Amino acid sequence: MRLQLQELSDQYNALLTEYKDTYKKYIDVLNNDNNDFTTVENASFIGKNNLSVLDNTNLSTCENACLENNSCSGATFNTTLDNCVLSTGSGNMVNSKQSIAIVEQAIYYSYRLQELNSQLIVINKQMMDISKNMYTKFNETQKQTQEHEEILQNNYTILNDERFKIEKMIREFQTLNSAYEDGNIHVTSNYYSYIALSLIVLLLVFLLIRFSLPGKQSGGGNNIFKSILNVFSFKK
């Protein structure tokens, strides 16, 4: 059980680092108004409407077809059927085996952030369950265990809040894209619309620094769990 807790802690920290890096890339893409396309395996792009379907094609041809069509906002290449579906309008990515999504980088990063957020929540929940089991077996460490459970519960709440923030940013990004396509706003207005996003980045950095400090650190850091292991080893 102690080894499992340590392994989960290592996984959590690795995912948290990737989450931070992906978040930064996502904000950079939005601030720079980067509309470059990228490919994502085992995923499909679901747009507002389908423009056309190309049969007997390949991934490169599919991507070029979308790039050459001003109405194309993303595409999906089916590796089994060798066909390409071009889509228009704002949309999202979904998991889809034997498919490759061709999407703007902003959509990919938002999709990846949601995946990482879900994985962090699952691992955090597993650590909470293990901590509770250890509490029942070692009643003498009740106070210390409760403190660690509170930290894990706090992390769980923060991650859920982050998920709603990501979803809100995705909706705002899609709204801006739709308005741009209708000719209601200019590309340069994105700069002002995402000043608020910079504040969110500062808040995230503050939280990461705070929960990475020695002592009662948040985010499931190694120091917290090493202290738990040392206490239980001492009691044995």
Q: Do 95 and 114 belong together in one domain?
A: no
> H or E segment at 136?
helix 105-137
Tokens of 52: 């056309």
Q: Identify whether residues 23 and 62 lie together within a single domain.
A: no
Domains contained in the chain, number: 2
Q: Are residues 225 and 142 part of one domain?
A: yes
CATH of the domain at 67: 3.50.4.10
User: Which residue, of 53, 71, 104, is where some domain finishes?
Assistant: 104
pLDDT of residue 219: 47
Q: pTM of the full predicted structure?
A: 0.59
Of 52, 83, 104, which residue constitutes the final position of a domain?
104
Tell me: do 190 and 230 sit in the same domain: yes
- How far is residue 214's CA from residue 226's CA, in Å, rounded to a whole number? 12
Q: What is the pLDDT of residue 228?
A: 42
Query: Residue 115 in contact with residue 107, Cβ under 8 Å?
Result: no
Instruction: Tell me what pLDDT residue 183 has.
Output: 54
Residues 152 and 215 in one domain: yes
Give pLDDT tens digits along the chain (236 positions). 778 888 999 999 999 999 999 999 999 988 988 788 999 999 999 998 999 999 999 999 999 999 999 999 999 999 999 999 999 988 889 988 899 999 999 999 999 999 999 999 999 999 988 888 876 766 666 666 677 778 888 888 888 888 888 878 777 777 766 665 555 544 445 555 556 666 666 666 666 666 655 544 444 444 444 444 444 444 44
pLDDT score, position 205 = 60
First to last CA, the chain: 14
How is 163-178 classified by DSSP, letter by letter? HHHHHHHHHHHHHHHH
| pLDDT tens digits, 73-102 | 999 999 999 999 999 988 889 988 899 999
Q: Which domain holds residue 11?
A: 2-34+107-235
Q: What is the pLDDT of residue 197?
A: 64
Residue 35, pLDDT score:
82
